[in-house]
């Protein structure tokens, strides 16, 4: 007799079935449990013992698998069905991942890409580079502050004045006087003339140099006093000494104290009266100052400055100068032709620009004047850099293009690395050296033509302060890199966009098909294993 399996439902209060038969709750039905029962089929011949056991096992496994399928909810059975079962009736839609890649590729195609390359500098031959600067020296007088420019080709330009503006400042770097402009180099006066070194004037009775105790009394007694601030070690002071003493004797003879007393020549030894000379901002020797009514004020555009003599330093020239001053005695605001405005404060701001060749060079800020000597112990080259950059500043349009195309992005100080820097002299003979390494980055936009192109000069700065045996100075040395960075805008070609898009779409579908095949194979293996666990 053969065996078959039937599904019967028992209520919850029914007697438990034999322990050898498993009972599982029906997940989709709330009224009872489902048991598996064997019953004899009334028809059919009895099977052999061995055949009956094998057939019975197979039928039992198949029946239990069918029962498990029936116990699953309909939604779960639908989810377990594989897409390959109804592949002909399905239409596959693009996945969100595919659509995202398509959008990204379209956006990239619509954007203009930047292409960077390194080339040897392609600037026109002998092209000049503009260097713009604005530096303040709170302890360097505009009367002697100079800017020299030199380069590796041997070019040397001394005391530039055409494109440099000097303004007197105080210790707080605030402007306190009118702009101090030197004369044009082509019309600038030559160095002052001296009497021959062999000339010596006899029978000269010269008064003693003024001291701090007699200085103010002398200025108060005479309407005009011309004072020679000198240093015995100064070469130019030594050359001036005989002519000055002779002129002093002649002027006092022409305008004696009792009969006239309108003018007096005097001198001050700055090595003996250091504080007195510093009080009057004497930084170079000899310095010839004109005092009227006890002070050397010269009011220019509401700013107070000094009166300094700049003429020849011969006896005849000094006597003629005294004769020209006498008629103006008692007139504090009269300016003589041989007088110049000397800054009343010791500070100077130097601003402007220079045009240089694209070779290593140096901007040299120091104190220099024809016919003057400087005491290094009195010099202080402390300075603050307000601006120092190469090339022209970009227009707003070019700046936006540079920000968009720069390979590494623009930093806040990309144009001027030294802006806002201050360097202090802790020693009397400190010299400040700054090394600037300059790199050219050329931006070539896709539209706008040559007018839209912009050359951006960026630089790195390294500074050092040391004690020098020569005249203290502030040097800005620069080197131009021979390598140029060129950044171009280049559009993407349509065929590359089409090829890339097709590759992305095809790749996504290929990977999706591979994953689908792996999932289907795994599902089949899991199903076989699931059926095999019941044996």
Q: What CATH number does the domain containing 258 carry?
A: 3.40.30.10
Q: Is residue 184 part of a domain?
A: no
Rounded to the nearest 10 degrees, the angle between the axes of helix 494-532 and helix 49-71 is 130
Query: Largest Cα–Cα distance of the chain, in whole Å?
Result: 170
pLDDT at 50 (0 to 100): 44
Q: In this structure, are 130 and 240 located in the same domain?
A: no
Q: How far apart are CA 232 and CA 269, in angstroms?
A: 7
174 within domain boundaries: no
Instruction: Decide if 367 is inside a domain.
Output: yes
Per-residue pLDDT of the chain (535 residues; tens, 9 = 90+): 333 433 344 444 444 444 444 444 444 444 444 443 444 444 444 444 444 445 566 666 766 666 666 555 544 444 444 444 444 444 445 555 445 555 555 555 556 677 888 999 888 888 999 999 999 999 888 888 899 999 999 999 988 888 999 988 888 888 876 666 554 333 344 566 666 655 544 444 456 788 888 888 888 888 889 999 999 988 889 989 989 999 998 998 888 877 777 888 999 999 999 889 888 878 888 989 888 877 776 655 555 567 788 888 899 999 999 998 888 776 554 544 555 555 556 789 999 999 999 999 999 999 887 767 777 777 889 999 999 999 988 888 888 888 888 877 788 888 899 999 999 998 878 999 999 999 999 888 877 677 778 888 999 999 999 988 888 999 999 999 999 998 887 776 677 777 888 888 889 989 999 999 999 898 888 888 888 754 4
Q: What total number of domains does the chain contain?
A: 4
Residue ranges making up the domain that contains 413: 116-159+352-490
Residues 66 and 85 grouped into a single domain: no
Whether residue 308 contacts residue 290, with contact meaning beta carbons closer than 8 Å, is answered with yes
Identify any residues that bridge with 474 across adjacent strands, giving them in sequence order: 365, 432
430 in a structural domain: yes
In a domain, 94, yes or no: yes
Q: Catalytic amino acids?
A: 234
Both 13 and 48 in one domain: the answer is yes
> Are 480 and 535 in the same domain?
no
Residues 107 and 135 in one domain: no
Are 127 and 107 members of one domain?
A: no
At residue 13, the pLDDT reads 44
- Final residue of a structural domain among 343, 378, 408: 343
- Residues 386, 457 within the same domain: yes
Same domain assignment for residues 53 and 151 = no
Residues 370, 391, single domain; the answer is yes
Q: Alpha carbon of 38 to those of 3, 7, 56, 60, 193: distances in Å? A: 7, 9, 10, 9, 139
Looking at residue 229, what is its pLDDT? 93
State whether 325 and 428 are in the same domain. Answer: no
Give the pLDDT score at 53.
46
pLDDT at 454 (0 to 100): 85
Is residue 249 domain-resident? yes
Q: ∠ CA 524-527-532 to the nearest 5 degrees?
A: 130
Answer yes or no: do 38 and 131 share one domain: no
Tokens describing residue 286: 């000899």
Q: Which residue is associated with the tokens 């700049």?
A: 310
What is the end-to-end Cα distance of the chain in Å, rounded? Answer: 22
Which residue is it, tokens 């002299």?
425
- Are 366 and 465 in the same domain? yes
Would you say residue 441 lies in a domain? yes
Whole-prediction pTM? 0.58
Residue 385: inside a domain: yes
- Pairing of β 347-357 and β 128-137: antiparallel
Please state, in angstroms and rounded to a whole number, the distance separating the CA atoms of residues 163 and 364.
Answer: 15
Count of Cβ atoms closer than 10 Å to residue 343 Cβ: 27
């Amino acid at each position: 007799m053969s065996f078959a399996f039937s599904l019967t439902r028992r209520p919850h209060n029914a007697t438990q079935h034999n322990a050898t038969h498993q009972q599982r709750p029906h997940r989709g039905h709330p009224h009872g449990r489902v048991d598996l029962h064997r019953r004899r089929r009334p028809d059919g011949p009895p099977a052999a013992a061995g055949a009956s056991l094998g057939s019975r096992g197979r039928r039992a496994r198949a029946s239990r698998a069918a029962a498990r399928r029936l116990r699953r909810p309909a939604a779960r059975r639908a989810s377990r069905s594989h897409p390959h079962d109804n592949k002909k009736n399905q239409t596959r839609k693009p996945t969100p991942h595919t659509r995202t890649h398509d959008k990204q590729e379209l956006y990239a195609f619509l954007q203009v890409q930047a292409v960077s390359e390194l080339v040897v500098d392609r600037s026109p031959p002998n092209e000049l580079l503009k260097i713009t600067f604005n530096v303040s020296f709170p302890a360097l007088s505009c009367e002697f502050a100079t800017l020299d420019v030199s380069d590796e080709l041997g070019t040397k330009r001394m005391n530039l004045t055409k494109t440099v503006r000097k303004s007197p400042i105080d210790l707080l770097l605030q402007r306190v006087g009118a702009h101090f402009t030197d004369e044009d180099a082509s019309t600038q006066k030559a160095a002052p003339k001296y009497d021959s070194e062999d000339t010596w004037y006899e029978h000269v009775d010269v008064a003693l140099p003024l001291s701090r105790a007699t200085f103010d009394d002398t200025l108060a007694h005479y309407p005009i006093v011309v004072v020679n601030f000198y240093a015995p070690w100064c070469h130019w002071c030594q050359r001036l000494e005989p002519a000055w003493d002779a002129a002093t004797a002649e002027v006092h003879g022409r305008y004696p104290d009792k009969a006239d007393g309108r003018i007096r020549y005097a001198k001050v030894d700055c090595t003996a009266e250091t504080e007195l000379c510093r009080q009057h901002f004497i930084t170079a020797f000899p310095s010839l100052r004109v005092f009227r009514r006890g002070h050397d004020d010269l009011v220019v555009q509401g700013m107070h400055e000094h009166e300094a003599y700049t003429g020849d330093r011969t006896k005849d020239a000094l006597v003629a100068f005294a004769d020209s001053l006498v008629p103006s005695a008692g007139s504090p605001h009269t300016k003589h032709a041989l007088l110049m405005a000397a800054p009343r404060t010791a500070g100077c701001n130097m601003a402007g620009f220079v045009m240089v060749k694209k070779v290593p060079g140096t901007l040299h800020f120091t104190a220099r004047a024809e016919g003057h000597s400087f005491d290094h112990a009195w010099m202080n080259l402390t300075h603050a850099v307000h601006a120092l950059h190469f090339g022209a500043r970009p227009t707003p349009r070019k700046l936006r293009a540079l920000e968009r195309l720069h390979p590494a992005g623009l930093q806040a100080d990309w144009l001027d690395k030294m802006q806002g820097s201050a360097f202090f002299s802790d020693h009397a003979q400190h010299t400040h050296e700054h090394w600037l390494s300059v790199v050219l980055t050329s931006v070539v936009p896709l539209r706008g033509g040559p007018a839209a192109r912009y050359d951006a000069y960026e630089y790195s700065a390294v500074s050092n302060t040391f004690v020098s045996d020569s005249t203290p100075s502030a040097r800005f040395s620069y080197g131009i890199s021979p390598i140029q960075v060129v950044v171009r805008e280049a559009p993407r070609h349509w065929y590359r966009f089409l090829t890339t898009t097709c590759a992305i779409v095809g790749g996504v579908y290929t990977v999706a098909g591979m994953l689908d095949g792996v999932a289907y194979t795994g599902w089949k293996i899991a199903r076989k294993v699931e059926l095999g666990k019941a044996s």
